[in-house]
Structure 1
Amino acid sequence: MELSFQDYISIKIHKTDLHLTNFVKAKLEPFNLAPEQNLIMMLLWEKDGLTQIQLAQKLNKDKTNVARMASNLERKGFIKRSCCLDDRRSLKLYLTPCGKKLGDQVIPIAEEFNDIVCKDFTKEELVELERLLSKVNKNVQCFL
């Protein structure tokens, strides 16, 4: 029997991703921050001074893509990029005072968003969801 459009698990995951992205996009819009840029900021709020290469690895993104997002964040005044002393080809990203202040506003929104997404899940269900999503990612990575 052939699957119908809504039976494909990849379509269900994509639909969920769209809902999550649209929700985050709406919440971040007042802060002039795109969801992808927010991922960089979240990592820098956690540990300031990461290199663009480290960010690309953590986000599983292309280095060029991260460089473009970093450039946009720098133009907005949220970060500054500076050369590494030990490797002149590498750039480290540092939060500006404005970028640090932005974290005070955005991190609570991220935490609220996480609470909304995880609402009505038990700890066991969240562990299982993580396990299943990891399995999906592993299956897809085999073909990349």
Structure 2
Amino acid sequence: MVNASLSDDSLLLDNQLCFALYSASLAMTKLYKPLLDEIGLTYPQYLAMLALWEQDGLSVSALGERLHLDSGTLTPLLKRLEAAGLLARLRSVEDERRVHVKLTPAGRRLKAAARHLPGCVLERSGCSLPDVVRLTRELKALRASLAA
């Protein structure tokens, strides 16, 4: 058994990748909150709308894969967006077990109200666009490595 000392730098909180990611995620969500309040969305709802603005008509399972969310998390989120009139959940005529998510006209119009959000976040982050692009690419690679 290895005798690890209390001064071992590998166990310092500020040296933990997991803590850096966790605290950065909390800070990012906090930054988004007032911006999203203006357009009536929560952060997870915004992510779902981003995916649907990119590709309308996804199946619930495809949307869950895209967002890395399980159905137990995604279904209540979609129900709230549907109740807000932003999307409709429609059963497939080919296979009634499949449900597709389609934006309503109000959901499509909301995209215009959200167009300024990425610029606001970029400005408030204090990062340059190339730095954000590089960091995003690195985080996607890390996510892929962790999922493998």
Tell me how far 1:35 sits from its aligned partner.
Answer: 0.5
Report if the CA contact (8 A) 2:56-2:102 is conserved.
yes
Distance verdict in 2 for CA 1:97–1:19, change over 3 Å: same
1:68-104 superposed Cα distances (whole Å, 9 cap, x missing partner): 1110100111111111111111111111121111111
The two structures have a TM-score, normalised by structure 2, of 0.81
**Which of 122, 126, 132 in structure 1 is aligned with 2:133?**
126
Report if the CA contact (8 A) 1:37-1:69 is conserved.
yes
What's 1:99 paired with? 107
RMSD: 2.2
Report if the CA contact (8 A) 1:118-1:126 is conserved.
no
3-state SS of 1:49 partner: coil
> Residues 1-144 of structure 1 correspond to what in structure 2 (within 5 A)?
1-2=8-9, 3-114=11-122, 116-117=124-125, 119-120=127-128, 122=130, 126-127=133-134, 129-142=135-148
The two structures have a TM-score, normalised by structure 1, of 0.83
Q: Unaligned 5+ residue runs, structure 1?
A: none
Tell me how far 1:49 sits from its aligned partner.
Answer: 1.1
Tell me how far 1:135 sits from its aligned partner.
Answer: 4.1
Count residues with an aligned counterpart.
Answer: 140
Q: Unaligned 5+ residue runs, structure 2?
A: 1-7
Query: 2: CA distance between counterparts of 1:135 and 1:82?
Result: 34
Task: Find the structure with the greater CA-based Rg.
Answer: 2
